[in-house]
Amino acid sequence: MVVVFPEENRSLTGKCVLGEYELAMPLTVGERLVGVLTLKRQRLAFKQREVQYLSIIAGQAAAALENARLYSEVAALARLDGLTGIFNRRALLEILTGELARCSRYDLRLSVLMVDLDNFKKVNDVYGHMAGDAILKKITACIQAHVRNVDVVGRYGGDEIVIILPETGPAEAYAVGERICAAVRNLMAGEVLPVTTSIGIAGYPQHGDNAEGLLAAADQAMYQAKHLGGDCVLSFSQLLLPEIQSAGGLDKKS
């Protein structure tokens, strides 16, 4: 039996414990305890030769556990954006594809928000990319604070952030978008170059039945929100409304 201890557990001393019918051997990596290997038998006490053999096995088991931990960390990092710590584009597409398959199977709804930062290019031009990076991380943290634990936040590219809202319909998604828009506006109030958000919303199944189509619909709604002046939320369903069209028609990404 191998028992894996969490990183903060220091309840064992790291010394071998020899009992009449039970033998326990700590699993250590350097001076760090990662678990304990135990053997039990009912009739015979363990001999010193068996203790030595178990010590060798314990060393191999500790190395295997450490390798597994390192692999898990590397695998997790490969799915995260290096700057913001949220999911990267590849992970977003994988998660969205999986969620859409679940929606199709169980007849569920889903919404996607495409968030773009207004005036972000000006911040980079005036204050430099380090300042822009700091603002992007700050706004990303703000967005994460205003969504549920089940929602997925990821960096789609540049200053575009995608939010996947499982089991969420149009009205609820719009409310989330407005909440994020207001939160970022308040966060950046008072800045010389205030950064706000333009948010486009698309929903499954009405606006697309695959990841690419749904993201394209949200992207188109987001660019129209920017065309209307930014700092606002727009659903893909609103693009054909007369008041939206009269504001200048559908703006194309340039």
Predicted local confidence at residue 221, as pLDDT:
97
Could you tell me whether strands 196-204 and 232-235 are parallel, antiparallel, or unpaired per DSSP bridges? Answer: parallel
CB 140 within 8 A of CB 84: yes
pLDDT score recorded for residue 24: 80
pLDDT value, residue 251: 44
Spell out the domains of the chain, with CATH numbers in brackets: 2-77 (3.30.450.40), 89-245 (3.30.70.270)
pLDDT of residue 247: 64
Question: Looking at the whole model, is its pTM more than 0.85?
Answer: no
Q: Tell me, yes or no, if 159 is annotated catalytic.
A: yes
Identified catalytic residue from 159, 209, 219, 231: 159
DSSP letter for 1, please.
Answer: -
Residue-level pLDDT, tens digit, the chain, 254 residues = 444 444 444 444 334 444 456 778 888 888 888 888 887 776 677 778 888 888 888 888 888 888 888 777 777 778 999 999 999 999 999 999 999 999 999 999 999 999 999 999 999 999 999 999 999 999 999 999 999 999 999 999 999 999 999 999 999 999 999 999 999 999 999 888 899 999 999 999 999 999 999 999 999 999 999 999 999 999 999 987 766 666 654 443 33
Q: Give 250's Cβ-side CA count (13 Å radius).
A: 13
Q: What is the pLDDT of residue 58?
A: 86
- pLDDT score of 250: 47
What distances in angstroms separate CA 93 from CA 44, 96, 113, 146, one per listed residue?
A: 57, 5, 14, 22
Which of 219, 86, 101, 87 is closest to 142 using CA atoms? 86
Buried-exposed string 30-61: b where 16+ CB fall within 10 A, e elsewhere: eeebbbbbeeeeeeeebeeeeeeebeeebeeb
pLDDT at 188: 95
How many Å apart are CA 41 and CA 225, to the nearest integer? 71
